[in-house]
């Protein structure tokens, strides 16, 4: 099964770390590449994420924080360091749309059932629901146990 790609959304939440862990085990079992994606955007009060960007120094600081969250998740799943078949990507945009776009060339998309913005008691967050309904490939939703 060489050449397979598993995209996994990672936002630093416990659910996303479990999604990464599941994707890593799955990829190891079938020889797939894992692409861990951390999407981010500057929040807007209403409507879609803004298309503009903040000054470079602010963007650099935010991107470093996002990279740190992604690195922390990778360290939790791969204590000895990620394998060669692991890819990471920071992507500017809303998580739902970004993950669906990243999944265009994927064989599987893996997401946590809810991320950092979830409300207590929700079984499925808005990003995971969007991925399930819009992704061009099968989607696995992981719940934290």
pLDDT tens string 4-13: 999 999 998 8
Cite the DSSP H helix spans in the chain.
Answer: 14-30, 56-77, 95-102, 126-134
pLDDT band at 118 (very low <50, low <70, confident <90, very high): very low
- How buried is 4 (Cβ within 10 angstroms: 0-12 exposed, 13-18 middle, 19+ buried)? middle
**What local confidence, expressed as pLDDT, does residue 46 receive?**
54
Site of tokens 């600081």 = 61
Per-residue confidence (pLDDT) for residue 2, from 0 to 100: 47
| pLDDT class of 144 with cuts at 50, 70, 90 | confident
Q: Please give the average per-residue pLDDT across 28-53, as a whole number.
A: 78
pTM of the model: 0.84
Q: Which two tokens stand for residue 73?
A: 């998740």
Which pLDDT belongs to residue 26? 96
Looking at residue 125, its pLDDT comes to: 75
Identify which of 45, 39, 40, 37 has the alpha carbon closest to the alpha carbon of residue 58: 40
Domains of the chain: which residue ranges? 5-142
CA angle, corner 115, sides to 112 and 117, nearest 5?
Answer: 160
Length of the chain (residues) = 145
78 contacts 66 by C-beta, under 8 angstroms:
no
Any bridge partners for residue 9, and if so which?
37
pLDDT tens for 52-90 read 566 778 788 889 999 999 999 999 999 999 898 899 999
CB atoms within 10 A of CB 52: 6
**Superfamily grouping for domain 5-142:** HUPs (3.40.50.620)
Rounded Cα–Cα distance for residues 21 and 100 (Å): 20
């Amino acid at each position: 099964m060489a050449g397979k790609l598993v995209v996994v959304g990672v936002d630093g939440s416990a659910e996303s770390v479990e999604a990464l862990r599941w994707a890593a085990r799955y990829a190891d079992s079938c020889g797939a590449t894992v692409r861990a994606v951390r999407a981010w955007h500057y929040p807007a009060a209403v409507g879609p994420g803004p298309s503009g960007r903040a000054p470079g120094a602010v963007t650099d600081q935010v991107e470093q924080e996002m990279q740190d969250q992604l690195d922390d998740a990778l360290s939790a799943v791969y204590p000895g360091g990620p394998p060669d078949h692991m890819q990471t990507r920071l992507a500017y945009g809303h998580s739902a749309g970004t993950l669906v776009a990243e999944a265009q060339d994927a064989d599987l998309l893996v997401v946590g059932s809810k991320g950092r913005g979830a409300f207590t008691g929700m079984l499925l967050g808005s990003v995971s629901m969007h991925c399930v309904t819009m992704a061009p490939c099968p989607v696995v939703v992981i719940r934290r146990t």
